[in-house]
């Protein structure tokens, strides 16, 4: 599903994030801040067991006062080594004991996704009168003896009694503990922690990110004419998840993804690409990618349901097949590019977006060593609840909930044509005239193509395409997310791309 949205304009940013000086933002601070909203995958009990193990290995006694909570017993942290250090306290006539406890709360997004709220709590109590402390320090010595006594083996308690505060203490105050949160993340999800550390390297600009291995001469030969795409290098180097919201049925959207694949391969970076093709056809797609791409190989692959559907809405176009062939050529040359369909043809509506999100979630976490590009219709790409129908939760919004932090970009373009399906003037699919987006005039009379790609109520954007000349393709990030999008990708004038199966039947040249 793809419609032409309009958004509020924002000051553009051509980098992944605002420039951060290496001296003021260290890797540790960035990592700890990211740990606070990290999403863990698995059952709640699996996560609880892992967190308990990490804390126990660090010498902490851990209780489970509730089904979602782990906590250490309250411990006095300000008892001095000698009674004499209580002089000031006895002069005031009382002493303050400070207690501390660590608490980890599992917040479940759903049965598979969870966030950890890691906190350090403090409470205080008034201890004794002046004459009590002066009477040989009996009360103090008793507390000190209990404090120093080692915990017996197997003393960890699962009950709330193990973390109950002593009588007379103030109400506890808990604050986030990012340091412990980062420690837990490194131990419980080391792949996720490594991805955060790598991203920090790019965001800070402190270190040039090097490819895991240089591209082979054959890859450089195949990718020798890669077009420049300003604004995308930091996203690729940081291994981000990039969701591109396209208008279906154009040559330019698949060509844009091909340009990113070519650029990534020419620099030696691995890449993953998801297309709005059925997951069910991925085995056939993988066989075609591994083939020589002969006419027989191509016809065999085009025999799958994705290409022989009755409703050709632009996703099974000549340009999409050309993108697949481009990836096949890069892989044959030695480039590390994964390609798969993310759609689920057995589902419709909101359930379909849920199935796509679950598939992307699994693939993304399996391939954190690379950037991932997902090309879908722009309504699916929104990272906030969609405005098509009440309660519609798009793919992008679900990926955001899963903690994958997608960078969602909308396609900007100049006027041209697109192969679209429309219910306006007639029921059917074909070449439609499409006005440029963002539009220059709000009073223009909309064509059938405009109506097929426009979603009402998505706001209005100003001139997102600058007047000054720029390359035919670029990425522009806004300073803040708007209407569920982080920026745009510009592809130039549009040209319709018809269904691949119809072009092949007419004897049109096959993509190479």
What DSSP line would sit under 350-389, residue for residue?
HHHHHHHHHHHHHHHHHTTTSEEEEEEEHHHH-SS--SSS
3-state secondary structure of 119: strand
Our measurement of the distance from residue 202's CA atom to the centroid of its chain's CA atoms, rounded to an integer in Å, reads 16
- Sorted by where each begins, the domain ranges of the chain are 12-19+205-414+459-505, 35-189
Half-sphere exposure of 503 (CA within 13 A, CB side): 21
Whole-number pLDDT of residue 391: 82
pLDDT exceeds cutoff 80 at 317: yes
pLDDT cut 90: percent of the chain above it = 54
Whole-number pLDDT of residue 150: 54
pLDDT in tens, 374-425: 999 999 999 988 666 778 899 999 999 999 999 999 999 999 999 988 766 5
- Contact (Cβ atoms closer than 8 angstroms) between residue 432 and residue 448: yes
Question: Dihedral sign, CA of 387, 391, 395, 396?
Answer: positive
pLDDT exceeds cutoff 50 at 347: yes
pLDDT exceeds cutoff 70 at 135: no
d(CA 475, CA 486): 10
Does pTM surpass 0.75? yes
Pick 363 or 81 by higher pLDDT: 363
Burial of 430 (0-12, 13-18, 19+ CB in 10 A): middle
User: According to CATH, what is the number of the domain 12-19+205-414+459-505?
Assistant: 3.40.50.11550
Whole-number pLDDT of residue 176: 96
Alpha helices in 169-310 (DSSP H): 178-188, 190-204, 217-222, 233-237, 252-266, 282-289, 295-302
d(CA 297, CA 300): 5
Question: Dihedral sign, CA of 367, 230, 465, 261?
Answer: negative
pLDDT exceeds cutoff 70 at 264: yes
Structure tokens at 502: 């119809």
**Among 204, 314, 199, 340, which residue's Cα sits nearest to residue 249?**
314
Mean pLDDT of 129-151: 46
For residue 227, what pLDDT band results from cuts at 50, 70 and 90?
confident
What is each CA distance from 408 to 160, 307, 400, in whole angstroms? 44, 27, 10
Whole-number pLDDT of residue 161: 78
């Amino acid at each position: 599903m793809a419609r032409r949205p309009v958004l509020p304009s924002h000051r553009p940013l051509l980098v992944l994030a605002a420039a951060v000086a290496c001296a003021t933002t260290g890797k540790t601070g960035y990592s700890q801040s990211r740990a606070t909203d990290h999403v863990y995958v698995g059952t709640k009990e699996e996560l609880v067991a892992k967190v308990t193990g990490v804390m126990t290995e660090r010498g902490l006694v851990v209780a489970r006062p509730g089904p979602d909570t782990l906590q250490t017993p309250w411990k006095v942290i300000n008892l001095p080594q000698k009674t004499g250090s209580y002089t000031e306290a006895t002069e005031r006539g009382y002493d303050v004991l400070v207690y501390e406890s660590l608490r980890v709360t599992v917040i479940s997004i759903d049965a598979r996704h969870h966030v950890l709220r890691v906190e350090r709590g403090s409470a205080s109590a008034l201890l004794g009168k002046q004459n009590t402390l002066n009477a040989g320090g009996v009360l103090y010595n008793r507390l000190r003896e209990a404090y120093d006594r080692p915990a017996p083996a197997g003393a960890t308690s699962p009950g709330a009694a193990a973390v109950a505060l002593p009588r007379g203490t103030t109400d506890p105050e808990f604050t986030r503990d990012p340091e412990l949160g980062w420690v837990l993340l490194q131990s419980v999800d080391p792949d996720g922690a490594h991805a955060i550390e790598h991203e920090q390297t790019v965001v800070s600009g402190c270190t040039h990110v090097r490819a895991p291995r240089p591209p082979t001469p054959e890859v450089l030969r195949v990718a020798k004419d890669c077009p420049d795409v300003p604004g995308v290098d930091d996203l690729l180097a940081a291994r981000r998840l990039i969701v591109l919201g396209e208008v279906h049925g154009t040559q330019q959207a698949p060509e844009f993804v091909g340009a990113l694949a070519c650029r990534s391969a020419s620099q030696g970076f691995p890449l993953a690409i998801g297309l709005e093709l059925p997951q069910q056809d991925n085995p056939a797609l993988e066989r075609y990618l591994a083939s020589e791409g002969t006419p027989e190989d191509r016809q065999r692959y085009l025999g799958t349901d994705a290409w022989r559907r009755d409703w050709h809405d632009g996703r099974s176009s000549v340009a999409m097949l050309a993108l697949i062939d481009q990836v096949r050529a890069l892989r044959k040359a030695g480039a590390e590019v994964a390609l798969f369909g993310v759609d689920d043809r057995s589902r419709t509506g909101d359930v379909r977006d849920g199935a796509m999100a679950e598939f992307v979630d699994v693939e993304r976490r399996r391939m954190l060593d690379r950037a991932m590009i997902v090309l879908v219709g722009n309504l699916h790409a929104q990272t906030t609840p969609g405005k098509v129908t009440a309660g519609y939760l798009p793919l992008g919004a679900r990926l955001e909930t899963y903690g994958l932090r997608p960078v969602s970009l909308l396609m900007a373009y100049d006027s041209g044509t697109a192969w679209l399906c429309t219910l306006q003037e007639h029921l059917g699919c074909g070449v439609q005239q499409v006005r440029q987006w963002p539009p220059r005039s709000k009073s223009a009379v909309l064509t059938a193509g405009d109506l097929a790609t426009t979603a009402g109520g998505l706001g209005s954007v100003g001139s997102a395409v600058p007047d000054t000349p720029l390359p035919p393709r670029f990425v522009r990030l806004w300073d803040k997310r708007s209407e569920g999008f982080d920026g745009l990708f510009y592809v130039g004038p549009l040209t319709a791309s018809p269904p691949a199966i119809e072009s092949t039947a007419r004897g049109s040249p096959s993509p190479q």
